[in-house]
C-alpha cells in the first residue's frame, strides 16, 4: 500500500506542477492525470472513469491568472489511488468503492484552494528578493529563489493529495460495510448524475444560441465515454 501511495504522490507532484508552475502541457487535467495514475497502479479503467467525471465537473474552471479553482488534479489522482488501494484492502475493487472514493475526494479537495493561495502568497514576496539579489549580483541566489517558487507549488500539490488520501483512508473503511449495499443500488444513478452535473456546469458558463444542440452533444459524449470505460 505504501508503494502505491508513493506512486500516486509522484503523479500528484508532476501533474500538480503542470497546473500553473511549469510546462502547462495539460497533463494536469483530470482526464489525463487520473488515467496516468491508474496505468501506473495497474487499473487504467478506474483512472479513466474517475478522470472523465472530474473533468466534466470542473472543465469550465481553470487556474488562469489570479483565479484559484478547486484542485481538480489532486481530486482525480487521489480518488484513483484511494479506489485502487482500498480495493486491495477491502472486498475487491468495484464501481461502488470508486464512486465512494470520489464522493469523499470532491469536498475534501477544496483544501487545494487554501494551499494554493498560501503558495501564491509566499511566491509574491520572491520577486522583491530576486530584484535585490540581481542588484547585489548574487546570481546563484536568483536561481535558488526561482526553485523555491517551484517548491511552494510542489508542496501545495502534495499537501492536497495527502489530505484527500488520509481522509479517505480514515473515513472509508469504517463506513464501507454500512454503505456497500446502498451504494450498489445507487451506483448507476451516481454514474449518470455526475456527468450530467458536469455538462450543466459547462452550459452555465457559456452563452450559445443553440444551447440545446450543445447540450445534446455533450450528453451523448458523456454517455459514450461512460459506456467505453465500462469493464
Lowest mean pLDDT, pick from 14-18, 31-35, 150-154: 150-154
The residue with greater pLDDT, 162 or 21, is: 162
Question: Whose grid coordinates read 463506513?
Answer: 175
Q: How far apart are the first and last CA of the chain?
A: 24
Cα separations in angstroms, 221 against 44, 56, 77, 182: 20, 11, 23, 28
187: left (phi over 0), alpha (psi -120 to 50) or beta: alpha
pLDDT of residue 162 exceeding 70, the answer is yes
Residue extents of the structural domains in the chain: 2-228
pLDDT of residue 183: 67
pLDDT tens-digit series, residues 167-218: 888 888 887 777 777 666 666 667 666 766 666 666 666 655 555 666 666 6
pLDDT digits (tens, 9 = 90+) for 143-153: 676 677 677 78
Confidence of residue 225 (pLDDT cuts 50, 70, 90): low
The Cα 206–Cα 169 span in angstroms is 38
pTM, 2 dp: 0.73
- Predicted confidence (pLDDT) at residue 64 exceeds the cutoff of 70: no
Q: Which residues contact 116 (CB under 8 A, 6 or more apart)?
A: 63, 68, 71, 153, 156, 160
- Weakest mean pLDDT among 10-24, 58-72, 154-168: 58-72
- What's the confidence (pLDDT) of residue 51? 86
Q: How far apart are CA 4 and CA 124, in angstroms?
A: 35
Amino acid at each position: 500500500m505504501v508503494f502505491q501511495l508513493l506512486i500516486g504522490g509522484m503523479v500528484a507532484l508532476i501533474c500538480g506542477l503542470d497546473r500553473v508552475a511549469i510546462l502547462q502541457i495539460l497533463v494536469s487535467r483530470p482526464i489525463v492525470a487520473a488515467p496516468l495514475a491508474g496505468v501506473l497502479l495497474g487499473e487504467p479503467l478506474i483512472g479513466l472513469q474517475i478522470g472523465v467525471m472530474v473533468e466534466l465537473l470542473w472543465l469550465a474552471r481553470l487556474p488562469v491568472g489570479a483565479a484559484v479553482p478547486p484542485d481538480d488534479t489532486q481530486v482525480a489522482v487521489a480518488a484513483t489511488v484511494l479506489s485502487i488501494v482500498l480495493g486491495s484492502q477491502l472486498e475487491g475493487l468495484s464501481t461502488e468503492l470508486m464512486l465512494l472514493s470520489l464522493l469523499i475526494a470532491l469536498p475534501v479537495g477544496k483544501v487545494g484552494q487554501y494551499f494554493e493561495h498560501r503558495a501564491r502568497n509566499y511566491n509574491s514576496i520572491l520577486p522583491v528578493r530576486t530584484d535585490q539579489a540581481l542588484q547585489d549580483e548574487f546570481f546563484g541566489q536568483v536561481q535558488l529563489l526561482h526553485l523555491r517558487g517551484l517548491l511552494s507549488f510542489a508542496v501545495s500539490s502534495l499537501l492536497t493529495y495527502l489530505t484527500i488520501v488520509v481522509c479517505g483512508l480514515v473515513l472509508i473503511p469504517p463506513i464501507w460495510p454500512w454503505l456497500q449495499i446502498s451504494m450498489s443500488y445507487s451506483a448507476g444513478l451516481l454514474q449518470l448524475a455526475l456527468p450530467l452535473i458536469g455538462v450543466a456546469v459547462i452550459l452555465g458558463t457559456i452563452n450559445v444560441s443553440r444551447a440545446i444542440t450543445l447540450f445534446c452533444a455533450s450528453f451523448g459524449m458523456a454517455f459514450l465515454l461512460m459506456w467505453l470505460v465500462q469493464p
